[in-house]
Amino acid sequence: MTAQHMVAYEVTTIVEPDLVEAYERYMRQHHVPDLLATGCFHAAELTHAAPGRYRMRYEAASQADLDRYLEKHATRLRQDFASRFPRGVTAAREVWVAIQTWTVATNESETA
């Protein structure tokens, strides 16, 4: 039996200043809810490091869930994003696999 590992799908974006407000609104009101509605991810987090620099982190329970998203939903959601932001936003995508997770509440660690 193969252990399942939590997978984080991260998208880092650089957004031109005149699009920041529209980008944040779109992510909060449309893109993230649509992505979570696929059932492939159980959590999402939008963060920023500097004005116009964002990171979206989507958490999937397994690589199979991420693969299902990429095969069945990614093209549609990326096309919708591109239609709303044809210029001014660049994106880089990475996949991270959990090796070990610690929690404060139980003071235990879980090794993948």
pLDDT digits over 31-72, tens only? Answer: 999 999 999 999 999 999 999 999 999 999 999 999 999 999
Structure pTM?
0.84
pLDDT digits over 4-36, tens only? Answer: 788 999 999 999 999 999 999 999 999 999 999
Within a domain: 42: yes
C-alpha span between 39 and 54 (Å, rounded):
23
Within a domain: 2: no
Within a domain: 1: no
Within a domain: 26: yes
What are the C-alpha distances in Å from 20 to residues 14, 48, 54, 82? 9, 11, 10, 15
Half-sphere exposure of 7 (CA within 13 A, CB side): 17
Strands 7-15 and 89-97: antiparallel
Where do the H-state alpha helices sit in the chain? 20-26, 32-36, 63-72, 74-84
Boundaries of domain holding 40: 7-111
**Into how many domains does the chain fold?**
1
- For the record, the structure tokens of 42 come out as 């159980």
CATH number at 13 reads: 3.30.70.100
